Amino acid sequence: MEAEPLKHRPPEAQPPEPWPLEPWPLQAQPPEHRPLEARPPEPWSPKSRLPDADPSVSLPLLSVRDLRIAFDGVEAVRGVSFDVHAREVFALVGESGAGKSLTARALLGMLPKEATVTGTVHPDLSGARGSRIALVPQDALAALSPVHPVGDQLAAAVRSVRRVGRREARALAVAALERVGIADAARRARAHPHEYSGGMRQRAVVAMATVNEPDVLVADEPTTALDDDHRELVLQLLADQRESRGTALVLVTHDMDAVRRHAHRVLVMYAGRAVETGPAQEVLAHPWAPYTKGLLASLPHPDDKPRRRLPTLPGSPPTLGALPPGCPFTSRCPLATDLCRHEEPEPRWADERSVACHHGELPDHHPPGHHAPSHHPPGHHSPAPPAPHHPSPRHPLENP
Per-residue pLDDT reduced to its tens digit, 287-339:
999 999 988 888 877 777 777 777 788 889 999 999 999 999 999 998 999 99
* Predicted pLDDT of residue 297: 85
Top-level class of domain 21-127+217-361+372-400: alpha beta
H helices present in the chain, as ranges:
45-48, 100-108, 140-143, 150-159, 166-179, 185-188, 198-210, 228-245, 256-262, 280-285, 290-297, 338-342
Whether the per-residue pLDDT at 353 is higher than 70: the answer is: yes
Mean model confidence pLDDT for the chain? 79
Cβ–Cβ under 8 Å, residues 62 and 123: yes
Q: Say whether pLDDT at 128 is over 70.
A: yes
pLDDT exceeds 50 at position 202: yes
**Kind and range of the H or E element at 252?**
strand 248-252
Q: What is the pLDDT of residue 301?
A: 72
* Pairwise pLDDT comparison (38 vs 230), residue with the higher score: 230
Does residue 38 have a pLDDT over 80? no
Instruction: For residue range 183-194, list pLDDT tens digits in order.
Output: 999 999 999 999
Q: What is the pLDDT of residue 117?
A: 96
Domain ranges (residues) in the chain:
21-127+217-361+372-400, 140-213
CA distance 3 to 10: 21
At 10, the amino acid letter reads P
More confident residue, 391 or 348: 348
pLDDT at 171 over 60: yes
Q: What is the pLDDT, as a whole number, of residue 15?
A: 42
* Percent of the chain whose predicted confidence (pLDDT) is above 90: 56
For residue 123, whether the previous peptide bond is cis, meaning omega lies within 30 degrees of 0, is yes
pLDDT: which is higher, 27 or 213: 213
pLDDT at 376: 39
> Is a pLDDT exceeding 90 seen at residue 47?
no
Closest CA to 389 of 83, 51, 47: 51
Q: Has residue 222 got a pLDDT over 80? A: yes
pLDDT score of 255: 85
Q: What pLDDT does 386 receive?
A: 38
40 has pLDDT over 70: no
Check: CB of residue 126 under 8 Å from CB of residue 212.
no
Q: What pLDDT is attached to residue 384?
A: 39
Mind listing the pLDDT tens digit for each residue in 65-100? 999 999 999 999 999 999 999 999 999 999 999 999
The DSSP secondary structure of 139-189, one letter per residue, reads -HHHHS-TTS-HHHHHHHHHHTTS---HHHHHHHHHHHHHHTT-SSHHHHT
Distance CA 23, CA 113 (A): 43
Q: What confidence tier does 56 reach under pLDDT thresholds 50, 70, 90?
A: very low
